Amino acid sequence: MQLVTISSQRQITIPVGMLEELGLEGKDKLFLTIEEKKLVARPRKGSVVDRLAGSLSHLVPKKLRKIPTDKAIEMARDIMAQEIANE
């Protein structure tokens, strides 16, 4: 447990050790909720696409499942650009 101060601008600083333990860095996002009168922060890992990708894996051929999400998005953009150019 760590004691933190709420600034005059209603901001708090999370101690470095806690961020490291959670694998968080600057610009990462947290979900804040109140549970039983306690403030609870949960890390949001990855982009929306990354978080939803697993739920759609049954629609992707097995040979394509190992392609990183960012690479798949780039490939899809290239394909769409080519199709638009051919119209």
The whole-number pLDDT of residue 87 equals 74
Per-residue pLDDT for the chain (87 aa), expressed as one digit of tens each?
899 999 999 999 999 999 998 888 888 888 899 999 999 988 876 666 665 666 667 777 777 777 777 788 888 888 889 888 887
Q: Which residue has the tokens 């708090």?
A: 12
Q: Within a 13 Å sphere around the CA of 78, how many CA atoms are in the beta-carbon half?
A: 6
Q: Where are the domains of the chain?
A: 1-45, 48-86
Contacts of 73-76 with CB under 8 Å at 24 or more apart are 73/49
Q: What pLDDT, on the 0 to 100 scale, is given for residue 52?
A: 64
Query: Residues 45, 51: contact at Cβ < 8 Å?
Result: yes
Task: Please answer whether residues 12 and 4 qualify as being in contact, where contact means their C-beta atoms are separated by less than 8 angstroms.
Answer: yes
- For residue 5, the model assigns a pLDDT of 95
The encoded tokens of residue 36 equal 């039983």
- The domain 1-45 having CATH identifier 3.50.50.60: the answer here is no
Q: The tokens of 61 are what?
A: 């051929």
pTM beyond 0.75: no
